[in-house]
Amino acid sequence: MSVSFSNFPAPFPATGKNIHTVTSDRFVLYGGSATICQSFCGLKLWLLDRLNLKHCSKKHGLSESKIIKNQDKLDSHLKTSSSNDGRDSEGVSTLSVPNVTKRPTSKLQAHSPNFPVQSDQAPSLCIAVIGATGELARRKIFPALFALYYSGFLPENVGIVGYSRKNLTDEDLRSIIASTLTCRIDHRENCGDKIDAFLSRTCYLNGGYDNREGMLKLSALMEHIEIIDFLAAYLPQGGFEANRIFYLSVPQEALLDVASTLAICAQTQKGWNRIIIEKPFGFDALSSHWLTKALLSKFQEKQLYRIDHLLGRNLIENLTVLRFSNLIFEPLWSRTYIRSIQVILSEEMGVQSGRYFDGYGIIRDIVHSHILQTIALLAMEPPISLNGEDIRNEKVKVLRLIRRLEPSNVILGQYKATFDDKVDVKLNSLTPTYFAAVLYIDNARWDGVPFLIKAGMGLIKHRVEIRIQFRHVPGNIYHDRFGHNINLATNELILRDVPDEAILVRVNNKVPGLGLQLDASELNLLYKDKYNAEVPDSYEHLLLDVIDGDNHLFMRSDELTAAWNILNPVLQEIDKNNIAPELYELGGRGPVGAYYLWAKHGVQWTED
């Protein structure tokens, strides 16, 4: 028996146990007419896709001929075979569909991937990197995806599409990213084979300068990959699940246009769609509001993943573990026992070219997301579960309770640099590269406890850490044994990320020997000594969270609003030229005014 569907451009799903083999141009099915009829259920899926495509074309005013040109899904389809009355030499019924190369060719056909077939019944996953030729994609996103693939956290049938406006081929993209791919230091088995396998699952699409046309081509290419994987698996339940992730590594000015056309023309109807958006998330409260409103008109909140790579560090993930799984910490976690909390992020190297002098500065780039999110995780109440929404609910409560920053509690700085320093010297006179501030949370747990922030570039050392300083022991009978500086007797919990990730607890103890001499010592858990494992890059951690649907380290829309409300008074003063950054030497300790600010609130930076 031979059946031909000469007008259908895509193969149809069939029941797996009826498949004998898949040759280069033929489906081979066991059974008679009744069995073959069951295999045509996929026609409904094709019709639905076709109707969705026409709906998209009407919205954008695209002609049918252009849609057909952009919707060529497969390089070659199965052709009609009329020999032997539709039966092969083994008497097995065959179903064939003509090759669509008879239709007008398109750029998509030229770049259609030839993925290796994987017999895997897991849901299909396609990841599109929009802006694939940019520095971020080359240095961070693709290496992180490969690390997940190498470690087994991506399905074998994953499809990765690089999308940009450059005229490249699949091999061009593969050669660009191949040099950035490395295997785990502690686990290098089959490294070369894994790299080759990953690159074989990666393809490139030139989207051109028309986002509407480009997104149609992207959707068609992703459906091509999904159909190939489906044909390999032949899921027996009918239909198949196809999930998509879109990483928007694009400039802020292009974000809305790309996101809007993606929402209409590139989302799958056979599974979930998740959209990753890079910071900054707006320029101020007003611009962030309109950006959020526009995004939520196209996507659901649960689809949006606003990524900040600094929140993917192991230090951040460990905050809730230390707090809520250790009895020795949680009972002390309040104003009753904690005197102050310091959050420090300092970099010794100059900032990358173009990162700050475009007007965003350190407040919008680092403080708004990373610093305030860290404080929220430190100060929030215990969530009812580890579900991402439950954790976000507690974070936003804390952010809403933080007092709006007053300019009197803020110190801004800007490093002084020359052309010999090999850093940005074209900074706007009001663009801060250093931010220090004191925050207060108006609730019962933290009333009166200062949260001190220091974030700066071009400083004397690279340091990322959190220091929880406890109160003095009331009526300490050993106070005269510590000398004049009672602060030396203060207990501290230090969570360090850079340099050398560690957890340290500063305690007072007796120095061995005759007499009574006290010393402040550190109990040290140094990760590199304790754990013989390479720490994954933060992008790996966050991308895996997106795949798993874990959104607790990604800012929700109400968290964005609450964070901007805290910073808005200071940003308005900067915009009115009422606050000028204090200059500091590149490679120094930062503005002198910061030390007076700490003294004003009765706190000394203990690192000094």
Yes or no: say if 466 and 344 are a contact pair by the CB < 8 Å rule.
yes
Give the residue among 377, 405, 375, 321 at the shortest CA–CA distance from 579: 405
Q: At what angle do helices 252-265 and 211-233 cross, to 10 degrees?
A: 50
Question: What pairing do the DSSP bridges indicate for beta strands 451-457 and 434-439?
Answer: antiparallel
> How far, in Å, CA of 152 to CA of 238, rounded?
27
Alpha-carbon distance values, 175 to 112, 179, 199, 263, 534 (Å): 17, 7, 9, 30, 26
Could you identify the residue written with the tokens 């056909």?
109
DSSP state of 115: P
**Residues 6+ positions from 499 with CB-CB distance below 8 Å:** 461, 462, 463
> How far, in Å, CA of 394 to CA of 478, rounded?
40
Residue ranges of alpha helices (H) inside 402-537 are 527-530
Count CA atoms within 13 Å of residue 338 on its CB side: 23
Q: In terms of C-beta density within 10 A (0-12 exposed, 13-18 middle, 19 or more buried), how is residue 539 classed?
A: buried
Q: Determine whether 370 is an active site residue.
A: yes
**Amino acid, res. 554:** F
DSSP 518-548: EEEEEEEEEHHHH--SPPPPHHHHHHHHHHH
Question: What pairing do the DSSP bridges indicate for beta strands 338-347 and 463-470?
Answer: antiparallel
| Positive or negative: CA dihedral 533, 534, 538, 543 | negative
Alpha-carbon distance values, 590 to 148, 422, 460, 518, 582 (Å): 39, 19, 8, 33, 9
Q: In terms of C-beta density within 10 A (0-12 exposed, 13-18 middle, 19 or more buried), how is residue 344 classed?
A: buried
Q: In terms of C-beta density within 10 A (0-12 exposed, 13-18 middle, 19 or more buried), how is residue 372 classed?
A: buried
Alpha-carbon distance values, 52 to 219, 250, 264, 337, 401 (Å): 12, 27, 9, 60, 45
- Spot the catalytic one: 111, 370, 541, 552: 370
Yes or no: say if 204 and 111 are a contact pair by the CB < 8 Å rule.
yes
Q: Which residues participate in catalysis according to the annotation?
A: 370
